[in-house]
Chains A and B, each alone.
Chain A
Amino acid sequence: MAKPKPRVRVPKKAKKGDIVTIKTLISHKMETGQRKNKKTGEKIPRHIINKFAANFNGKQVFASDWHPAIAANPYMAFSFKAEESGEFEFTWTDDKNETFSKKAKMTVA
């Protein structure tokens, strides 16, 4: 599988007190463990991203645990209240304990 590529959409600027929407996406097959290899009949082992977390200035503000019922190329969007400028760090963790991350800055005025 190609290396998962995270993509995020964070507003560059926000007004203090406003609630903004943070959108994230990562390319991943999210193999459920239910599928079988059509030729051999063997089960294809489960391989999904099971955890997503968003930190802002080092503090966790949002997280989600995922099960095989999450669609391929998982999308996650959530609200965030702009109070101060800072940096988001998004982290995805898969079944093999591999992590993928992405950072994005937001200026609050």
Chain B
Amino acid sequence: MSKQTDRLNVDRREALQFVGGGVVAALLAGTLATEAKADMKLVNKAINRLVGDGAMKEGRIKLDLPDIAENGRTVPVGVTVESPMTDGDHVKSLHLFAEKNPAADVASIHFSPAMGEAKAALRMRLGGTQNVIAVAEMSDGSLYTSKQQVKVTIGGCGG
């Protein structure tokens, strides 16, 4: 939405522009909703390829991402998965996906009980404001997922 929505004192011209903007925004929201579905399709495809189509539960994954990234070329991301990290019960892998990048895959991180805790950090590229999705595979085969939106002011792909 335009900046004008933040203003408290609007004169007639601005008020009219705002109404017009509202109509455009409503139309845009419609197209964006269908786009978001298409984006998730790519992510879901990537998830199916890596871990299969088993049921995923929410939780256990903590994503440490900025709410707003000033530069999409390098966005820090930290991941922690709750797990005792013993030989019998640990996190095997965590896969990271970006919904709106040219390709959904970002990284697959492979943990081992020798780490003591399932914690890692890296820096990724984000081509625009979007959701970052994580899927963790546990040693017993169960799957967990989590996602977080990052607002990007300068894109990171191409250019």
Contacts and interface: CB of A to CB of B under 8 A. Distances in A.
A62 B93 CA distance: 10
B88 interface: no
Contacts of A69: 98, 101, 103, 105-107, 124-126, 157
Interface string A5-40: 000000000000001000000000000101110000
Contacts of B73: 71-72
A35 B114 contact: no
A74 B114 CA distance: 23
B37 interface: no
Contacts of A76: 120-122
B125 A80 contact: no
B106 A70 contact: yes
A104 interface: no
Main SS at interface, chain A? strand
A54 B109 CA distance: 12
Contacts of A59: 114
A65 interface: yes
Contact of B75 (A19, A32, A71, A83): A71
Interface in A74-90: 74-81, 83
Contacts of B131: none
B139 to A, nearest CB: 15
A67 B116 contact: no
B111 interface: yes
B115 A67 contact: no
A66 interface: yes
Given A71-B73, A71-B123, A79 B105 contact: no
B108 A65 contact: yes
